[in-house]
Amino acid sequence: MRIAAVAIALLVAQWVDTRMQVAGLQQELARRLADGDSVAKEGRALARQSQEALAALQAKVGVLEAKLAETQSQAVALEAMYQELSSSRDERLLAEVEQAVVLAMQQLQFAGNVEAALIALQGADARLARSVQPQFLPVRKLIARDIERLKGTPGANISGLSLKIESVVAAVDSLPLAYEQRPRAETAKPAAAARPVSVDYWRQLGADLWREFRQLVRIERIDHGDPALLAPNQSFFLRENLKLRLLNARLALLQRDGKVFHEEIRQSREQLDRYFDGRAKPVQAAQSTLKVLATTDVSFDLPGLAETLTALRNLKFARERGAGAAR
């Protein structure tokens, strides 16, 4: 009995111990299961974050790919534009040079302005000099020849001569007429130094009276026989007639008609001498300008630029035809 009781006690103790171990194992298992759940939740959260980050990265990659494709298309377009510009650069250069030569021809034909023509030709030569194309050398030689010919043209400043005539025309209305001139005022003599009281007072008074009496009558020399007397309306037509003569002279200058130019200048000078006050400074200035114009040769021939323009257009046409055949 006693042995059986001890065995039962041992069995009960072992069962209790086993139960305690099983309970501990259950608690440990529950704890580990809870830890596993938390880890799983964290894993799922990390996986979700990773998926979101991956989606964002994929979206960014898509945007970058779109931008790369756009950049590549722009690069292709720019390359095509560059090729087109490179192919048409010479054509544009020839067009600019042709325009400069045409401008120089217009300045020579219509205004006789050699300086403006030289500036245009020098600009055209500078544009061609920046290009190293050997086919431009014949045109450059022709332009250089024209520049030297224009530089050697004597008295070709038609624009300057035209401005001189215009200055006289602008001053005609203010020029004083000869019949309006006034006698020259005598310069006042310096006051006599104080004389001693012993000088005869009446003799001095008589001298002063005689000097004042002489001022009442004045005799003056006039270069012309008699200055023309003109009514106000005649004065107006006289000035207008003088303007017309000067404008005719300027027109003859532009036409390089030396005979008509010098005749109009001569008659204008005669009108100034006959009807206007030669002592007035404006009249003297106008006479001086007309004197210079009267000695100027305006019947010179300016060099033409037709040969240069023809060569330039032939070169341009040949290049355009070659470009069309290449296409």
pLDDT of residue 264: 92
Closest CA to 259 of 301, 298, 303, 295: 298
User: How far is the C-alpha of 264 from the C-alpha of 267, rounded, in Å?
Assistant: 5
Residues 6+ apart with CB under 8 A from 128: 93, 97, 136, 139, 140, 143
Q: 244 pLDDT exceeds 90?
A: yes
What are the Cα distances from residue 71, in Å, to 16, 45, 304, 308?
80, 38, 53, 47
Express each pLDDT in 168-205 by its tens digit: 999 998 888 876 665 555 554 444 444 554 457 777 87
Residues 6+ apart with CB under 8 A from 307: 142
Q: 8 pLDDT exceeds 70?
A: yes
pLDDT of residue 197: 44
User: How far is the C-alpha of 264 from the C-alpha of 262, rounded, in Å?
Assistant: 6
Q: 276 pLDDT exceeds 70?
A: yes
Comparing 24-28, 245-249, 272-276, the range with the smallest average pLDDT is 24-28
Express each pLDDT in 296-305 by its tens digit: 877 666 777 8
Report how far Cα 222 is from the mean position of its chain's Cα atoms. 55
Express each pLDDT in 109-160 by its tens digit: 776 677 788 888 899 888 888 877 788 888 889 999 988 888 777 555 677 7
Mean pLDDT value of segment 235-242: 88
For the chain, the average pLDDT equals: 79
User: How far is the C-alpha of 174 from the C-alpha of 243, rounded, in Å?
Assistant: 12
Express each pLDDT in 74-104 by its tens digit: 888 877 776 666 556 777 888 888 888 888 8
pLDDT of residue 268: 92
Of the pLDDT bands very low, low, confident and very high (cuts 50, 70, 90), residue 248 is very high
Closest CA to 268 of 234, 298, 236, 244: 244
The CATH classification of domain 90-155+303-326, taken from the options 1.20.120, 1.10.1740, 3.30.70, 3.40.50: 1.20.120
Looking at residue 184, its amino acid is R
User: How far is the C-alpha of 108 from the C-alpha of 303, rounded, in Å?
Assistant: 8
**Residues forming beta bridges with residue 321, ordered by sequence position:** none
Residue ranges of domains in the chain: 90-155+303-326, 158-179+226-299
Show contacts of 89-95: CB within 8 Å, 24+ apart: 90/131, 90/133, 90/319, 91/316, 91/319, 91/320, 91/323, 93/127, 93/128, 93/131, 94/312, 94/315, 94/316, 94/319, 95/316
User: How far is the C-alpha of 137 from the C-alpha of 170, rounded, in Å?
Assistant: 48
pLDDT of residue 288: 92
